[in-house]
Chains A and B, each alone.
Chain A
Amino acid sequence: MELIFEKSVNDRRGFRYPVSDVALKGSIPAKYARQEDAPLPEVSELDVVRHYTHLSQKNFSIDTHFYPLGSCTMKYNPKFTEALARLAGFTDLHPLLPQLAGGEHLTQGALEVLFELEQWMCELTGFTNFTLQPLAGAHGELTGIMLMAAYHKAKGNAHKKYVIIPDSAHGTNPASAAIAGYETIAIPSNKDGGMDLEALKKAITPEVAGLMMTVPSTYGVFEPNISEISKLVHSVDGIMYYDGANLNAVLGKCRPGDVGFDVMHINTHKTFTTPHGGGGPGAGPVGVNEKLAKFLPVSRVIKRNDGTFALSYDYPDSIGYIASFYGNFAILLRANAYLLMLGKQGLIGTTDHAVLNANYIMASLKDTYKVCFDRVCMHESVFSAANQAARGVHAIDIAKFLIDQQIHPPTVYFPISVPEAIMIEPTETESKQTMDDFIAKMIQADVLSKSNPEAFKDFPKTMPISRPDETKAARDVRTSFFLPADAA
């Protein structure tokens, strides 16, 4: 399909501004002025609408396709939260307004949304305070690790230099720890998918600043030894970090704050179904217990005795500003509305059915695909396509087969410790019928891997494009219409 730039026609316009109602015509001194107009596309409104509508039709999305992308919690995104996020009382609100003298009174509704959401999150997770500022999950991780660093600095723990991370963790964990200035130690998993306790004991030294853990793990396994792990880490004054990526599996079943964790982040675009947006925007609120609360970023939303809400910056031990304002407000607003609708029982039901659905898929496929851990799983299950790979059909080939079957593929090749990994997370919002269709197609892929493995090399065949040449993309880097392709 043509690029919007290739549809450009000289002097065509998509949008017209009114004629200026002021007589003055400003001019920029030549020294400071742009020499040539920015070569943006010149197209009509209809060109724009048709172009992007056509592009949208080249996407798979939750609204159009089953999307069992493991570890991403691609549940249905309710429409009413979108409508709420578009109310002018929220969209037109300037973030500096509450920073004017008396300006807090102009933003009471927005501050109440933030305050209420913090209360919900505290009770959900067992923590005492949350900051809603982190703009994504990974941003929350970085914030959490900075809180860890602030804690150690305040206690004079200058010798702390390592953060322990299991090998099944998301790549953001070691990246976040490294950016915050720590070295990482990877701990292998045991045969049940839990953490190898012996390896952990060896790694625990006074130089350990903390441990980051995803519960349930990316293997879809609940860590049975949490209490012991937490004791070990706390014995050297380490901080226990809970990666909330898989929180959808434990709502009402386990609260990180109750089982030894000191800090966590939540991915609102997973558990609280704020839309993924093709890769963001998300939000990554961070919760802490009393140990870390005083270090939280400013500003914080407080409720005064008279029932009004305010921003407070009066926290001398705070790590400071981690974002420009109060978080991705329009995203947090959606999360809040979703929580209000679900309530206590709805949240428990979410986890019940997310786990039920995941186990149903696992039970239905375990005779066809090798399961990593032959036991009940949580919200997702991890298979290996090792048997199919032996026939020349790899996880990626099965993924491409599924695309032709109008199903978004599961996560493949993650966790990285599992060869030919296929990670399936159906979520609670999918029906048995949808899952049955998926299961049938997964079995069909296995049958085809026996009868005609060569066929897979051509999949997908029904999409706007076939498999792209990724090597060429990385070698002849062309990331802009205006840039000629050549080796970078």
Chain B
Amino acid sequence: MNPYIINTSEDVAQMLKTIGVNSIDELFWDIKSEHRPKSFDLPAGLSEYEVMRKVTALSLKNNVALVPFLGGGYYDHYIPTAVSAITSRGEFYTAYTPYQPECAQGTLQALFEYQSSMCALTGMEVSNASLYDGGTALYEAMMMAMRITGREKIVMDGGVSPIYRKILKTYTHHLHYEFVETPVVHGQSSRDEIFKRLDSGVAAVILQNPNFFGAIDDFTDIIEKAHAVGALAIVSVYPVSLGLLKTPGSMGADIVVGEGQSLGLPLNFGGPYLGFMTARKKYVRKMPGRLVGETVDKEGRRCFVNTLQAREQHIRREKATSNICTNVSLCALQAAVFMAMLGKGGFKELAQLNLDKAEYAKHVLGRIKGVEVKRTAPTFNEFTVHLPLDASQVAGAMIKKGFAAGFPLGRYYPGMERYMLIAVTEKRTREEIDRYADALYEVVK
């Protein structure tokens, strides 16, 4: 069943005549019998209604009714309805990469605005038009730093998402790059450990704010020391926190990356998400991915184009700054609309609400006997607690009580089996937080 094939038999007959063959099969004459499928045992097609019913039934087999306190870099934020109203417009989502700027000014200007908002948020000068997700964006930033410095050693803070660190290792394990990981001490980046490892062979120091344990930091001192040995500083950042937190730009960072899911994208079981990257202007020609730039048309009117394409694979092939072709334009548009909807005041308010609710949760959870809220460093909307039991056991028990309680850290940090990472976004109500505390009390008592 293929309702999207619309040639009538009369059309087909006329077309075959124009081509000068008798049947469609003749068009495949050069696929020899030895190259034909050995099997093509696929089910028969279904009607739209049947597919809707089948897949809707599958959606109902997922439990999205748990009250979420689960984060780990991916958060349950409210998305204003206007955001998806815009991204559902066929003129945006059924267009392709703006190769012909005259008939793609919509996409191009929206991406320019996205780039501008990302610069505003991170305190940096230039932004690309998006990368796949936060993890792959960090990989691209690392490669960019190696290109700029000509060095092949990376110092990575243990507070960087363990998922990202796994990705970086996959991409580089067969190459000759050197990774040095420094431990987190008292919840924050250890200056001593990082400084010990900084030398003239280091391409970049990779840091994350807030770190995976939720602690916030000011990396200005680390970045100064990195610059002193000619290394760059890459900071991965949770964008919503930037409503309140010091920007990586003002800390002196050279490249800023992160996961943009929290900027108006649904959780979607892991994707599509939005990798963002901003940088100092002097490095713009070393950036990966598409860049939209301003120019003028023949009449001198302002307009937008894909620019500095000589960096890219379709021109430079094996010498390109990255192999990336498709990025995530629609997700970047989504983030642009989200940031415009909230605006300067709304974005700060969003961040403040996240902070307030998390502080409230720390307060009520901290009163439970046996639950220790780690307070060695200030946090934003996510924090670590020490539990009297195995955290994954606690998470399992909390599921039965209707909560996605948080992320047990033992999964990625051996020895931290009793620690749980808890996220509290603006969507959590006081009543939900109180119920969560009651349930946790029951589980650990």
Contact = CB atoms under 8 A, between A and B. Distances in A.
Interface in B151-190: 163-164, 166-167, 169-171, 173-175
A179 interface: yes
B15 A329 contact: no
B421 to A, nearest CB: 10
Interface in A38-91: 38-43, 45, 48-49, 51-53, 55-65, 67, 69, 72, 74-78, 80, 82-84, 86-91
B284 A106 contact: no
B4 A75 contact: yes
Nearest to B3: A341
Contact of A341 (B46, B85, B285): B46
Interface in A197-221: none
The 6 closest A-B pairs by CB, nearest first: A325-B270, A343-B45, A89-B59, A63-B90, A277-B330, A109-B61
Contact of A483 (B2, B28, B119): B119
A327 B271 contact: yes
A275 to B, nearest CB: 5
A22 interface: yes
Given A14-B342, A324-B163, A469-B296, A177 B318 contact: yes
Interface string A168-181: 00111011111111
A13 B339 CA distance: 11
Interface residues of A, number: 209
B319 to A, nearest CB: 7
Nearest to B161: A324
Contacts of A456: none
B438 interface: no
A445 interface: no
B382 to A, nearest CB: 12
Main secondary structure of the interface of A (DSSP, over half): loop
Interface in A392-442: 399-400, 403, 408-409, 411, 414, 428-432
19 contacts: A14-B342, A23-B360, A43-B343, A56-B89, A84-B51, A86-B84, A96-B70, A100-B392, A100-B395, A138-B323, A138-B326, A139-B136, A175-B316, A278-B107, A320-B167, A353-B5, A466-B298, A473-B307, A474-B308
Contacts of A390: none
Nearest to B379: A26
A322 B173 CA distance: 12
Contacts of B93: 61, 77, 82, 275-278
Interface in B12-26: 12, 14-16, 18-21, 24, 26
Interface string B22-53: 00101111111011111111111111100110
Contacts of B173: 319-320
B270 A49 contact: no
Interface string A91-115: 1111111011111011111101100
Contacts of B28: 222, 253, 355
A273 to B, nearest CB: 8
Given A341-B1, A473-B307, A250 B378 contact: no
Contacts of A93: 62, 64, 267-269
Contacts of B314: 170-172, 414
Question: Most A CB atoms within 10 A — which of B4, B45, B167, B314?
Answer: B4
Contacts of B307: 470, 473-474, 477, 479
